[in-house]
Chains A and B, each alone.
Chain A
Amino acid sequence: MKKRSAERSYDAPGKVLARLAATRPRIAYPLASAVGAFRNRVTRRWPSTAEVHALFPLLTRAATRHVASAIGALEERNRVLVRSIRRDGIEPVRGLVSAPASLLSLRGPCILITFHVGALHALGAALEQFETPVLSFRHGALFTPTGALVVQSTEGGEQQRAMAFHRALLHLRDGGIVVIPLDVTEGPSIPMPCLGHTLRLAPGAFALAKATRAPMIPIVAQWTRTGISMLSGESLPQPTPEATAAWLESYLLASPSEITLGLVRSLLYL
C-alpha cells in the first residue's frame, strides 16, 4: 500500500507536466528538468553519483554530482515527453524539433543508428520531415507517423524480427533510409566494450550494412533551451560494432549528461 502511494506521488508531477506539455511545452519541459534534478539531489538515486562515477571515473566529484543531476533531469523530461506523446500524439512535439536541412535532405540508401541518449523519443517528429522515405525500427509504436516515416515494430519472435529485417533490406535496396536503435536487443547481441563496461549491440544494422553497403550514420536528439535539436555525426569509417561502440563512447565522454538512465543501467547491470 505504502509502495503504491509512493509510486503515485513519484508519478504525479509527470502526469501534470505531460498535460501541460500539450499546450505549453516550453514551460512543461524546463519544469520537468527541475523536478528530475531536484529528485536526484534529494534521493541521490536515478542515477546515483556512484553509478555515474563507474562510467565516467575521470570526472571530478563536483562534475559527477552535476552529471547525475543532469541525467535525473533528462530522465524526467523524457518521461514527460513519452507520456505526452502517448496522451496527445506527436503534434505538440513537432513544433519543438528542429533538424539541419542537410539531414532532412539526406539520400538513401543509408542506415541511421541511434542510442538511448538525449531526447531519443522525439526523433520521429524530425524523421517525418525527411525527403527520402524512412523506415524506423522501434519496440512497439509510440505514435502514428505521417510524412516520410513508417515505423516497423520489432516486437514478437524470431520470424517477426526476420520479417522486419527483410523489410529493411528491401527498403535500403530501394534507396530508402532505415533507422535502428542499436542498444536495444530483443534477440542475440554483440557485446562491445564501452566506458569500461559492456554495450550490447543489436546485430541487424551491421548485417544490413554488409548486405547493402549502405553507410552507417549516428544521429542523436538533444534537448536545448528552446526545444530539441536533431544532430548527425559523420558516417562511420567502417560499419562495424567496434566503430559504433567507439563513436558512442567518444560522444558520451564529450557529453556525459546526454546518457539516459536506461543506458546507464544497461551498461552497468546487463
Chain B
Amino acid sequence: MLSRATIHHDVAAILQARNPRITLTPGMPLGAEGLGLDSIAIVEVLLECEERFGVVLAAELLSSPNLTVDALLERVRVLVET
C-alpha cells in the first residue's frame, strides 16, 4: 500500500505539473480562485490521479461543494487505503 507521504508527493507532482510556479496550500481550490485550472485541466488532473492510483474519484469530487487540494488528497488516500 502507498504511504500517505507518497500519495501527497504524487498528487502534488500532478498538480504542480499544471502550474509549477504556485505553492500548494491545503485549502486551495483547483479552479480559478486557487490553482488556476480551467474546467478541462481540472478533469485531466482528476483522471491522471485515477490512473496513477487505480481509483475512481472524478465524478464524486466534481459534485462535491469544495474541490480543493486537501479534498483531493484525502479522497485519494481513503480510496487507496480501502
Contacts and interface: CB of A to CB of B under 8 A. Distances in A.
Interface in A28-55: none
A69 to B, nearest CB: 40
A169 B43 contact: yes
A158 B32 contact: yes
A203 B40 CA distance: 8
A237 interface: no
A166 B43 contact: yes
Most buried by A among B38, B39, B43, B59: B39
A165 interface: yes
A27 interface: no
A158 B45 CA distance: 14
Contacts of A166: 43, 46, 58-59, 62
B42 interface: yes
Nearest to A163: B62
A204 B42 contact: no
Most buried by B among A162, A188, A207: A162
A159 B31 contact: yes
Contacts of B58: 166
Interface in A150-198: 157-159, 161-166, 169-170, 187-188
Contacts, number: 44
Nearest to B66: A159
A269 to B, nearest CB: 24
Q: Is the interface of A mostly helix, strand, loop or mixed?
A: helix
Given A157-B31, A166-B59, A204 B67 contact: no
B63 interface: yes
Contacts of B59: 166, 170
Interface in B7-43: 30-32, 37-40, 42-43
A163 B61 CA distance: 9
Interface residues of B, number: 15
Interface size class of A (residues with CB under 8 A): 10 to 19
Most buried by B among A164, A166, A204, A207: A166
A172 B73 CA distance: 28
Contacts of A158: 31-32, 37-39, 42
Contacts of B67: 159, 162
Nearest to A204: B40
Contacts of B31: 157-159, 162
B32 A162 contact: no
Contacts of A163: 62-63
Given A157-B31, A163-B63, 10 more contacts: A158-B31, A158-B42, A159-B31, A159-B39, A159-B62, A162-B67, A187-B38, A203-B40, A204-B39, A207-B40
Q: Can you list the 5 inter-chain pairs with the closest CB atoms, starting with the nearest?
A: A161-B39, A158-B31, A162-B39, A162-B42, A163-B62
29 contacts: A157-B32, A158-B31, A158-B37, A158-B38, A158-B39, A158-B42, A159-B30, A159-B31, A159-B39, A161-B38, A161-B39, A162-B31, A162-B43, A162-B62, A163-B63, A164-B39, A165-B39, A165-B43, A166-B43, A166-B58, A166-B59, A169-B43, A170-B59, A187-B38, A187-B39, A188-B38, A203-B40, A204-B39, A207-B40
Interface of B: 30-32, 37-40, 42-43, 46, 58-59, 62-63, 67
